[in-house]
Amino acid sequence: MGAQIPIATTRSATGVPTGRLAVWWVIASEIVIFGGILVAYILGRLMNDYWGADAANTNVLAGSVNTFVLLTSSLFVVLAHQAAENKETDKAFRYIWLTILGGLIFLVIKSFEWSYEIHHGMTITSSRFWSFYYTAAGIHGLHVIAGMIIMGIISFDVKKGKFLHRVENIGIYWHFVDIVWIFLFPLLYIAK
Amino acid sequence: MGASHSHAGNHSSGSHHGPGHYVKIWAILLVLLVLSILGPEIGVKWITIVSAFGIAFVKAYIVVQEFMHLKNERRVVHYALATSLIAMGMFVAGIYADVGRTAGENWKNQAAQSLIDKHAAEGHNSSAPH
């Protein structure tokens, strides 16, 4: 008898493994959270022309680089999933940590960006645009941090060849975090 | 029983593509990213909307289908996601009438009105309905 396997991991009432189905349900609930924020932002933006002037102060280069970083980290985590499927545990471990590195680079760029903006008086209370900016990007950033922590935890089991299916589960979550940024980027950086 | 990913019912939704396939998808996403950045530089509103927001939807679709493998998932997952999108649509529809307003038949948001007045005083061009 090997490591204890949670009952939820070994059963499936829907044909979808319970763990993976749970991740999809998490994403379904996140769609409402992020979707609500994004739609509220779009409505506010359409009704307030001056938000465009505020948006002109965001750093397009930083946003673009961060989009590149997240897209690349998505590639790494899907390659980690593929390696885990092939039971190439060392390779999966490396790709997971490259994904975490991507998340770290994203956060470092974001922190420099925020430091600059706050230093120049663009704070969460400056205007409704900046309130949305810091709220949406902040909640997204927390999801990036959560994903990095979970990946770090599961990576050591993966290295031992245990619970390899979790690579796919965290990958689905990470791709969703990427998708949220794909929508935040044009809304907060491109549309002036 | 070992603790690998080979439990009953724990099959992966992943396709059997090689790494090259995913690298190709990633390259396509990068090309779309560049287009979404360059499009608004032209300065034409409809091109900005299509290049920035239209491409965002295309990028999201590609990530969902190719990286998240939604195309290989069972219908129950599609239903779960559709349910949340419908719920979000209902929430938005429910509050839409009050969005951007600072007063209604039985309520008044003085704080929001003050903010609008403040921005108007600072010379911003606010078109929020009063």
Q: For residue B114, is it within any domain?
A: yes
d(CA B52, CA B59) in angstroms, rounded, equals 11
Distance set, CA A94 to CA A67, A107, B76 (Å) = 22, 20, 33
Claim to verify: residue B112 and residue B82 sit in the same structural domain: no
Q: For residue B12, is it within any domain?
A: no
Suggest the residue from B1, B10, B81 to mutate for an interface test with chain A (most A CBs closer than 10 A).
Answer: B10
d(CA A108, CA A115) in angstroms, rounded, equals 11
Suggest the residue from A20, A24, A169 to mutate for an interface test with chain B (most B CBs closer than 10 A).
Answer: A24
Claim to verify: residue B75 and residue B29 sit in the same structural domain: yes
Claim to verify: residue B91 and residue B117 sit in the same structural domain: no
If you count residue pairs, one on A and one on B, with CB atoms under 8 Å apart, how many are there? Answer: 182
Number of structural domains found in chain B? 2
d(CA B74, CA B57) in angstroms, rounded, equals 22
d(CA A115, CA A109) in angstroms, rounded, equals 10
Would you list the DSSP string of A34-93? HHHHHHHHHHHHHH-THHHHHHTTS-HHHHHHHHHHHHHHHHHHHHHHHHHHTT-HHHHH
Q: Closest-CA residue in chain A for B129?
A: A47
Distance set, CA A106 to CA A148, A158, B73, B85 (Å) = 11, 24, 30, 28
Q: What proportion of chain A, given as a percentage, has pLDDT over 70?
A: 94
d(CA A49, CA A60) in angstroms, rounded, equals 19
Claim to verify: residue B58 and residue B121 sit in the same structural domain: no
Q: Show Cβ contacts of residue B36 under 8 Å, excluding neighbours closer than 6 positions.
A: A185, A186, A190, B51, B52, B55, B56, B59
For residue A3, the model assigns a pLDDT of 57
Structural domain range at position B71: 19-96
Claim to verify: residue B79 and residue B54 sit in the same structural domain: yes
Claim to verify: residue B87 and residue B111 sit in the same structural domain: no
Claim to verify: residue B39 and residue B62 sit in the same structural domain: yes
Per-residue pLDDT of A127-163, as tens digits, reads 888 999 999 999 999 999 999 999 999 999 999 998 8
Q: Which residues in chain B have their CB less than 8 angstroms from residue A15's CB?
A: 9, 74, 76
Band of pLDDT at residue B124, cut at 50, 70 and 90: low
Q: Which of A12, A22, A36 is nearest to A173 (CA)?
A: A22
Q: Could you tell me which residues are beta bridge partners of residue B103?
A: B108
Out of A119-133, A168-182, B44-58, B70-84, least confident range: B44-58
Claim to verify: residue B37 and residue B80 sit in the same structural domain: yes
* Burial class of B123 by CB neighbour count within 10 A (0 to 12, 13 to 18, 19+): exposed
Claim to verify: residue B25 and residue B80 sit in the same structural domain: yes
Q: For residue B6, is it within any domain?
A: no
Q: For residue B125, is it within any domain?
A: yes
Claim to verify: residue B30 and residue B49 sit in the same structural domain: yes
ipTM of the complex: 0.89
Contact B119 A50 (CB under 8 A): yes
Claim to verify: residue B83 and residue B111 sit in the same structural domain: no
Q: What is the mean pLDDT of residues A66-82?
A: 96
Claim to verify: residue B116 and residue B56 sit in the same structural domain: no
Q: For residue B47, is it within any domain?
A: yes
For residue B62, the model assigns a pLDDT of 96
For residue B11, the model assigns a pLDDT of 61
Distance set, CA A112 to CA A13, A22, A108, A157, A177 (Å) = 47, 35, 6, 33, 20
Domains and CATH numbers, chain A: 15-190 (1.20.120.80)
Q: For residue B65, is it within any domain?
A: yes
For residue B1, the model assigns a pLDDT of 34
Q: For residue B8, is it within any domain?
A: no
Q: Could you tell me which residues are beta bridge partners of residue B108?
A: B103
